[in-house]
Amino acid sequence: MGIQGNHRPTAIVTGSSRGIGRVIALNLANAGYNLVVNYKESQAAAESLGLELEQIGTEYLLCRANVSAWDDVVQMRDQVLERWGHIDLLVNNAGIISDALFHKMAKEDWQQVIDTNLTGVFNCARVCVSQMIEQAHGKIINISSFVALKGNIGQANYAAAKAGIIGFSKTLALELARYEITVNVIAPGFIETDMLSEVPERIREKLIAQIPQRRFGTPEDIAQAVLYLAGKSGDYITGQVLNINGGIYM
């Protein structure tokens, strides 16, 4: 979206204290955005990111909010509007996993993943959309996963939530196009994060063997796609799913 008039655009990136979200936040800061750093538990990591944003010269807010909790999300939205008065970009990145084979999956494992990964996207989009409609512009980018399209053993809850994001986003794109609001999805493949680094080497080798490019993606790969969709280049793109997975066939 770039600079709007005489103000810097404001971006909310959920789950931005670590991993992919952190790199997205840094890239947006370098592109001239005010940043809302959202986290649930990783306060030290969020504060560390804040120091990096200060070095860039970016205005930022640290917002502790559980995206699955409606009141937390409303409070985060209100803090943003009180500080800057506008919300130009929402990146729904926050997510968790709680893997188990389906016949062994506890109801709690199902519910926690759905609440964070899907309901959290609804909550954040719902509280921000009214402001975007009033502004007559805005962009929403939802981070899904190639698992939503391919499935994955032990991740029925995660696949369901991430697939739900796609249907939700396509519907939202149709409803909001008249207000100059775009809604798109990025579906990463295997990305080199702390979570993936904990996977045993023998499993990592099997995963890489599935990838035609024979390497894992990087958080930077995802962040660059966010910048593309968020910028002027993405103004005529809405309701789309961008697969960034090294060529994995669905």
Of 193, 65, 60, the closest CA to residue 120 belongs to 65
As annotated, the active-site residues are: 158
3-state secondary structure of 233: helix
Compute the chain's Rg from CA coordinates: 17
Residues facing residue 11 across a β-bridge: 35, 89
Above pLDDT 70, what percent of the chain? 97
> Measured between alpha carbons, how far is 89 from 205 in angstroms, rounded to an integer?
37
The pLDDT confidence band at residue 89, using thresholds 50, 70 and 90, is very high
More confident residue, 196 or 33: 33
- What are the distances in angstroms from CA 16 to CA 92, 172, 188, 209? 10, 23, 16, 30
For domain 10-244, is the CATH number 2.40.50.140? no
Location of structure tokens 């904990």: 198
Q: Where are the domains of the chain?
A: 10-244
Rounded to 10 deg, the angle between the 120-135 and 70-83 helix axes is 30
CA distance 106 to 115: 14
> What residues have CB less than 8 Å from 180, skipping those under 6 apart?
136, 137, 138
Cross-strand pairs, 63: 38
Host H or E run for residue 51:
helix 43-56
* Predicted confidence (pLDDT) per residue in 22-57, tens digit: 999 999 999 999 999 999 998 999 999 999 999 999
Average pLDDT over residues 115-136: 98
Residues 62-81 have pLDDT tens digits of: 999 999 999 999 999 999 99
What's the CA gap between 85 and 4, in Å, rounded? 13
Question: What pLDDT does 204 receive?
Answer: 87
